Every structure is written in C-alpha cells, then in structure tokens.
C-alpha cells in the first residue's frame, strides 16, 4: 500500500518532467507554448462564464424556492409505490444541471437517511452513472460554438434515464442483500 502512495506522490511531477523533457527534445519553446495555452484557457473560461452563472442561478432558485421539495412530494407519492424513495427525486432532477448541487442534495440524503439506506445507495450509484447533461452541453457547445445539436439532448436524456433506472435496480438489489 505504501508503494502506491509513493508512486502517487511522484506521478504529477513525473508527468510534468516528461512533458518538459519531450518539449526540450523537440526544441520547442515550452514557456511560450504554456503561456499561449493559458491565454486560450482564459478565453474559454470567459466565454462559458455567462452559461455557468445562468445554470448556477437556475439551480439555486429551484432549490431555495421549495420547488424541488414540492416536486419530490408530488412524484414521491407514485415513486414510493414502485420502491423508489422520494428523497432521491430532487437529486435525480438537479443532477442533469449541476453535479455540485446534486452532491449537496446527496449529502442531505446521507445525513437524513444514512449512507447504507436504500435512498443513500441509490443516490450514490446514480451520481456515478448519470451525467450533468445540460451543464456539459451548454459549456462545451458554447466553447466549441456548436449550434446544431440534433440528437444530443435526446440521446443524453435516454442515457441519463437508463443510468437512473440502473441505479434504482442495483441499489435495491444491494440494499435487500444486506
């Protein structure tokens, strides 16, 4: 185990050393390339900032307005009948927009129900098997100036629904085996 810790401590400096060494062998101006890359990165950050701010405000508004609690109660009446805890409904919805906001909701589930509860297991699996669809699309499409998305949203929603359903099935199997 200690060997893995030592390797991980040296891995990033080793990668940096290899990149710089490769650049020197190819007689590249490494510093200028680094500065150029940093400038491009800052341009990307500035171009996607309005999208990120809009998403953060939208998710924050949903969370503080009580709409997610209302939605959870409304859908929860039906989801509980098929064995899906109503507590994970807000996390499933918010996950499509913001990973950090969904992580906050999952932490709330852990505090209230516990990590080994059915809701905790499903939420944990869901976080690893679904994607922040709208965040990812808006940020990357804005940065790459993609305007024609055609099937992207539909495909991403289908994949997210499949991940959520798989989370529920796997979480239930794990919970009832305990």
Contact indicator for 59, 94 with CB cutoff of 8 Å: yes
The first and second tokens of residue 79, run together, are 């989801």
CA distance 12 to 8: 8
User: Regarding predicted confidence, which is higher, 47 or 115?
Assistant: 115
CA distance 46 to 144: 13
Please write the tens of the pLDDT for every residue from 133-173: 888 888 788 778 887 888 888 999 999 999 999 999 999 99
CA distance 155 to 2: 43
Query: What pLDDT score does 169 carry?
Result: 93
- Is-above-0.85 flag for pTM? no
Please write the tens of the pLDDT for every residue from 29-75: 888 988 999 999 898 888 878 877 887 788 788 878 988 888 888 88
Sequence-distant (≥ 6) Cβ neighbours of residue 7 within 8 angstroms: none
């Amino acid at each position: 185990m200690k060997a893995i810790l030592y390797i991980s401590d040296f891995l990033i400096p080793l990668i940096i050393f290899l990149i710089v060494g490769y650049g020197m062998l190819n007689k590249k101006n490494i510093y200028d390339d680094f500065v150029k890359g940093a400038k491009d990165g800052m341009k990307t950050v500035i171009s996607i900032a309005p999208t990120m701010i809009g998403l953060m405000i939208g998710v924050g508004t949903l969370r503080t307005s009580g709409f997610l609690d209302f939605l959870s109660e409304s859908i929860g009446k039906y989801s509980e009948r098929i064995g899906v805890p109503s507590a994970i409904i807000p996390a499933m919805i918010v996950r499509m927009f913001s990973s950090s906001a969904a992580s906050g909701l999952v932490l709330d589930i852990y505090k209230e129900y516990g990590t080994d509860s059915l809701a905790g297991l499903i939420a944990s699996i869901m976080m690893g098997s679904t994607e922040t669809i709208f965040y990812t699309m808006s940020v990357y499409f804005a940065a790459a100036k993609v305007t024609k998305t055609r099937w992207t949203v539909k495909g991403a929603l289908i994949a997210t629904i499949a991940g959520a359903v798989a989370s529920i099935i796997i979480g239930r199997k794990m919970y009832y085996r305990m």
